[in-house]
């Protein structure tokens, strides 16, 4: 790679029309939500959840969604309340579609005859849908045990007495899509779209110190506006700053390490797993107690980047390219803060306050089901309506990256349901009691599963264990184990492209800008060679 292609040349005019279509789509979605609200559906879902939390299931909540037989041992639901266990988890072979999907994500870009076909998001969606259909078919025709329902309230759905188990298969889809995928992708979509309307402009000299400053600021911002928000805000100006440099790949990889992952562990809004912990009863400011681990990992990885760029990559740049970089350098300026900065604050407030399982502070009112997601869509609509289309055009803003994440993760969320069910049932059989054990098992699985549900599984596992004598606890979990689970989910989500949603988006944006990013396995070589030893040292020092 020599110069990154001009955004204006390659994407000119796409952003306004794409934004108009998106605005229309947002309007239709909000109109549909208003119709549903007029019919009372979101309110009814909220009432079911509140009743389930209070333990007052009425006869109206019976049928397929009724609690399991009282002989079953009580467990906790997604919000820390008791429920009754479902049947046995599916057998191990049911994780095959998930493993195949991960393998195809890794391998297809490397097959010359298929690489171009795989570049299209429609191809990714086709593969994801086929493998998701295999998973659903297992639950429809083979699985003979009850399954737990997580949306809108907890319940247990029994298999059909004969014929296809439509209720069981539908429950798996509801869990994957309604309870997990829709909130996940709409939050990413809101952060991606709103930050896409902010432009940090100015081509600074792409020195190792300037690049390290970009990454360091992003790592700090990740805890304040979320890893997705920080990544989407800073990846474009970082790429533009490095337009004249040939050796850019390592800079983007380190950006993924820190801005998309390791920087986000100081507040619950920083990374989705920590927000789930907050919903489970972890104090909002408890994660600030992880500042030593945050500082160690981010400082050491950032120092490695600076040394790498200073002594390995920067000296390899040609004198001509460095001269052009210095000649084009200028001051930075920021455009699009209005209306997008207050809208970003609105996203954070919506995520923090509009959880239907909790009352809004100072009131006794539980928000309706999906009111949070509808609010996020409304904020996106305001950004598209009030923000500058010229800023988006000059950003080279398109929806390709978020559509890529949406296409792949719809399959990932469905295909990983058997794996999560197996972990939920057998996680306690792993014999893990030490913080180090929780760190590595949570982190290892967070590398290949979405780190939010993985966090939740091991949070519940740790919650069921007795604390050591005299050990402090938080939300029913010994704080040492809670710290290990939190750090494992956040830090080791950086080990692969699919460990955390922003990883894939940054990869896609960099490739759009002309950076030839490593393959799935090529990226793992970076993470195993650089990040893993630092995380092992952090675990040894702090856990």
Q: What residues have CB less than 8 Å from 342, skipping those under 6 apart?
A: none
Query: Is the pLDDT assigned to residue 392 strictly greater than 70?
Result: yes
- Report pLDDT for 235: 93
The percent of residues in the chain predicted with pLDDT above 70, rounded, is 90
What percent of the chain lies above the pLDDT cut of 90? 56
Kindly tell me the burial class for residue 524, based on how many C-beta atoms sit within 10 Å of its own C-beta (0-12, 13-18, 19 or more): middle
Per residue, the 3-state secondary structure of 281-331, as one string, reads: CCCCCHHHHHHHHHHHHHHHHHHHHHHHHHHHHHHHCCHHHHHHHHHHCCC
Q: With cut-offs at 50, 70 and 90, classify the pLDDT of residue 360.
A: very high
Average pLDDT, the chain: 86
Owner of token pair 């050491």: 300
Q: How far, in Å, CA of 402 to CA of 99, rounded?
A: 23
Least Cα distance to 380 among 229, 197, 224, 236 occurs for: 197
Residue 250 has pLDDT above 70, yes or no: yes
Which 8-state DSSP code applies to residue 214?
Answer: H
User: Quick one: pLDDT at residue 275?
Assistant: 78
Which has more pLDDT, 88 or 39?
39
Give the span between the Cα atoms of 169 and 161, in whole angstroms.
14
Q: Band of the pLDDT at 295, cuts 50, 70, 90?
A: very high
Task: Over range 70-90, report the average pLDDT.
Answer: 51
Contacts of 334 (CB under 8 A, 6+ apart): 198, 199, 200, 201
pLDDT of residue 283: 84
Residues in the chain: 543
Confidence of residue 161 (pLDDT cuts 50, 70, 90): confident
Q: What is the mean pLDDT of residues 296-301?
A: 98
The arithmetic mean of pLDDT across residues 521-532, rounded, is 96
Tens-place pLDDT, residues 209-240? 999 999 999 999 999 888 988 998 899 899 98
Mean pLDDT of 58-70: 39
Long-range contacts of 31-37 (CB under 8 A, 24+ apart): 33/370, 33/374, 33/377, 37/368
Residue the block writes with tokens 């990889």: 253
Give yes or no for a contact between 172 and 157, defined as CB atoms under 8 angstroms apart: no
Residue 18's pLDDT is 66
pLDDT band at residue 11 under the 50/70/90 scheme? very low
According to the model, what pLDDT value does residue 139 have? Answer: 96
CB 224 within 8 A of CB 343: no
pLDDT category of residue 522 using cuts at 50, 70 and 90: very high
The residue-averaged pLDDT of 439-447 equals 93
pLDDT at position 473 is 93
pLDDT band per the 50, 70, 90 thresholds, residue 397: confident
Q: How confident is the model at residue 180 (pLDDT cuts 50, 70, 90)?
A: confident
Higher-confidence residue of 343 and 88: namely 343
538 near 296, Cβ under 8 Å? yes
The pLDDT of residue 45 is above 70: yes
CB atoms closer than 10 angstroms to residue 286: 20
Lowest mean pLDDT among 35-49, 123-137, 251-265, 464-478: 464-478
Residue 483: name the closest of 265, 302, 310 by CA: 265
Q: Determine the pLDDT at residue 357.
A: 84
Q: Does the pLDDT at position 62 exceed 80? A: no
State the pLDDT confidence band at 16, using cuts at 50, 70 and 90.
very low
The dihedrals phi and psi of 406, each to the nearest 5 degrees, come to -60, -45
Q: What is the pLDDT of residue 480?
A: 95
In this structure, are residues 204 and 239 in contact, taking their beta carbons and an 8 Å threshold? no
Of 20-29, 38-47, 271-280, 347-356, minimum mean pLDDT range: 271-280
Task: Look at residue 380 and tell me whether its pLDDT is greater than 60.
Answer: yes
How far apart CA 197 and CA 390 sit, in angstroms, is 9
Residue 312 pLDDT class (50, 70, 90 cuts): very high
Q: How many CB atoms lie within 10 A of CB 323?
A: 11
Give φ, ψ of 329 to 5 degrees.
-65, 145
State residue 85's pLDDT score. Answer: 54
List the domain boundaries for the chain.
7-40+188-542
Contacts of 534 (CB under 8 A, 6+ apart): 297, 300, 301, 304
Torsion angle of C-alpha atoms 510, 512, 514, 519, degrees rounded to 10: 60
By CB atoms closer than 10 A (0-12, 13-18, 19+), residue 93 is: exposed
Task: Look at residue 37 and give its three-state secondary structure.
Answer: helix
pLDDT > 50? residue 75: no
The torsion angles phi and psi of 157, rounded to 5 degrees, stand at -110, 125
Side-chain half-sphere CA neighbours of 347 within 13 A: 31
Residue 23 pLDDT greater than 80, yes or no:
yes
């Amino acid at each position: 790679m020599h110069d990154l292609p001009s955004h204006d040349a390659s994407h000119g005019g796409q952003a306004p029309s794409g934004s108009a279509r998106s605005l229309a789509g947002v309007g239709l979605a909000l109109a549909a939500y208003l119709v549903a609200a007029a019919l009372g559906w979101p309110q009814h879902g909220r009432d079911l959840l509140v009743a389930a939390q209070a333990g007052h299931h009425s006869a109206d909540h019976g049928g397929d969604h009724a609690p399991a037989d009282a002989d079953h041992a009580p467990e906790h639901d997604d919000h820390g309340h008791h429920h009754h266990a479902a049947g046995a988890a599916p057998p191990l072979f049911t994780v095959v579609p998930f493993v195949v999907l991960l393998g195809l994500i890794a391998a297809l870009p490397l097959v010359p005859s298929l690489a171009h076909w795989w570049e299209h998001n429609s191809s990714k969606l086709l593969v994801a849908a086929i493998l998701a259909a295999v998973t659903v078919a297992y639950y429809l025709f083979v699985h003979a045990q009850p399954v737990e329902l997580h949306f809108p309230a907890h319940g247990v759905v029994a298999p059909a007495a004969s014929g296809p188990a439509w209720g069981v298969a539908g429950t798996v889809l509801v869990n994957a899509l309604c309870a997990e995928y829709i909130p996940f992708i709409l939050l990413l979509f809101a952060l991606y779209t709103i930050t896409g309307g902010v432009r940090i402009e100015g081509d600074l000299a792409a020195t190792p110190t300037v690049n390290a400053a970009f990454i360091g600021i992003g790592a700090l911002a990740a805890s304040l506006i979320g890893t997705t928000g920080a990544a989407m805000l800073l990846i474009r100006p970082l790429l533009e700053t490095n337009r004249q440099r040939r050796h850019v790949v390592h800079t983007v990889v380190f950006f993924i390490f820190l801005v998309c992952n390791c920087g986000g562990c100081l507040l619950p809004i920083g990374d989705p797993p920590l927000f789930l912990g907050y919903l489970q009863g972890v104090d909002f400011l408890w994660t600030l107690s992880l500042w030593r681990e945050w500082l160690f990992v981010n400082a050491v990885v950032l120092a490695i980047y600076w040394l790498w760029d200073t002594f390995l990559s920067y000296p390899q740049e040609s004198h001509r390219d460095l001269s052009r970089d210095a000649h084009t350098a200028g001051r930075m300026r920021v455009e699009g803060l209005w209306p997008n900065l207050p809208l970003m604050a609105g996203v954070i407030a919506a995520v923090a306050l509009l959880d239907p399982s909790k009352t809004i502070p100072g009131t006794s009112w539980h928000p309706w089901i999906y009111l949070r997601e509808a609010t996020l869509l409304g904020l996106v609509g305001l950004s598209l309506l009030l923000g500058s289309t010229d800023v988006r055009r000059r950003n080279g803003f398109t929806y390709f990256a978020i559509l890529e994440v949406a296409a792949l993760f719809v399959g990932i969320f469905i295909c990983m349901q058997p794996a999560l069910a197996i972990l939920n049932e057998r996680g306690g059989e792993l014999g893990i009691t030490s913080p180090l054990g929780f760190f590595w098992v949570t982190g290892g699985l967070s590398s290949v599963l979405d780190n939010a549900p993985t966090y939740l599984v091991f949070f519940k596992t740790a919650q069921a264990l007795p604390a050591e004598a005299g050990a402090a606890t938080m939300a029913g979990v010994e704080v040492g184990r809670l710290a290990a689970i939190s750090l494992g989910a956040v830090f080791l989500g950086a080990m692969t492209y699919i460990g955390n949603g922003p990883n894939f988006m940054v990869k896609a944006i960099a490739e759009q800008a002309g950076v030839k990013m490593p393959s799935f396995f090529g990226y793992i070589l970076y993470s195993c060679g650089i990040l893993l030893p630092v995380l092992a040292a952090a675990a040894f020092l702090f856990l």
